[in-house]
Chains A and B, each alone.
Chain A
Amino acid sequence: GNSVTQMEGPVTLSEEAFLTINCTYTATGYPSLFWYVQYPGEGLQLLLKATKADDKGSNKGFEATYRKETTSFHLEKGSVQVSDSAVYFCALPNSGYSTLTFGKGTMLLVSP
């Protein structure tokens, strides 16, 4: 079935550093790909998504490009802030599209 693999954390950065969180996927067909963010003590919320190959999703300075050739959907941000400290999850629908499969999550810690 469809699956995602994302880099393990925690990722520790200083404010204004460049961020990359890797995500690779295995999928039947070309489902949408998602990045979710979970701030401490909260539920998950959608950060961005891409619905087809070569699409770039973006939100709050974060970007990710749906790369069919490398089956990747890496999350990037040019300059992180302390407020970006959270857990980030890569996700995609299962092959029947009835459920969403999530990666294990990557914790990001940004220090001033």
Chain B
Amino acid sequence: NAGVTQTPKFRILKIGQSMTLQCTQDMNHNYMYWYRQDPGMGLKLIYYSVGAGITDKGEVPNGYNVSRSTTEDFPLRLELAAPSQTSVYFCASRPEGSIGATPANTEAFFGQGTRLTVV
């Protein structure tokens, strides 16, 4: 069981370049998330999705885009990379919980992260 898989693990981008961070999960979780973690800081939510075809903004969505065409995949797109986007990016997924119940009790499962440097 692979869990949450992120690629690539490391990437260096030049200012203005674009790239897609890939995230896939094999646990059939409805909820998926993208967080960024700056050095010495906590996690900030960029975007999230509660199911295929549904996405919503988190705290820091500017400069990013997402799509969710399948349950398994939740790619994060950077269109015009800026030095402020230098960070470690984590994808996570979370089950919805029991049928008919809210996900109040379900934990998130994280990928290993993508370390992105924009120069």
**Partner-B contacts on A (CB < 8 A):** 29, 31-32, 34, 42-46, 49, 51, 89, 93, 97-100, 102-105
Q: Of B13-21, B39-47, B65-73, B75-83, which binds chain A?
A: B39-47
Known: A42-B113, A97-B102. A102 touches B43 (CB 8 A): yes
Question: By the criterion CB–CB under 8 Å, are B107 and A102 in contact?
Answer: no
Question: By the criterion CB–CB under 8 Å, are B104 and A97 in contact?
Answer: yes
Q: Give Cα distance in the complex from A24 to B33, angstroms.
A: 24
What residues of A have a CB within 8 angstroms of the CB of B107 in the complex? 32, 34, 46, 49
Q: Give Cα distance in the complex from A100 to B112, angstroms.
A: 18
Q: Give Cα distance in the complex from A4 to B57, angstroms.
A: 20
What residues of B have a CB within 8 angstroms of the CB of A51 in the complex? 104-105
Known: A34-B107, A49-B107. A99 touches B33 (CB 8 A): yes
The 8 A CB mask of B81-97 against A (1 = contact, 0 = none) is 00000000010101000
New A-B contacts (20) at CB < 8 Å, excluding given A102-B42, A105-B43: A32-B107, A43-B113, A44-B43, A44-B92, A44-B108, A45-B110, A46-B108, A46-B109, A51-B105, A89-B43, A93-B103, A97-B102, A97-B104, A98-B48, A98-B103, A99-B33, A100-B92, A100-B94, A105-B41, A105-B42
| 6 A/B residue pairs, CB under 8 Å, sorted by A | A31-B105, A34-B107, A43-B113, A51-B104, A98-B50, A105-B41
The 7 closest A-B pairs by CB, nearest first: A43-B110, A104-B42, A32-B105, A44-B110, A102-B43, A46-B107, A31-B104
Q: Report the count of interface residues on B (CB-CB < 8 A).
A: 26
Question: By the criterion CB–CB under 8 Å, are A44 and B41 in contact?
Answer: no
Question: By the criterion CB–CB under 8 Å, are B111 and A99 in contact?
Answer: no
Q: Give Cα distance in the complex from A97 to B33, angstroms.
A: 13
Question: By the criterion CB–CB under 8 Å, are A100 and B110 in contact?
Answer: no
**B74: interface (CB < 8 Å):** no
Question: By the criterion CB–CB under 8 Å, are B110 and A104 in contact?
Answer: no
What residues of A have a CB within 8 angstroms of the CB of B41 in the complex? 104-105
Q: How near does chain A come to B54, taking the closest CB pair, in angstroms?
A: 10
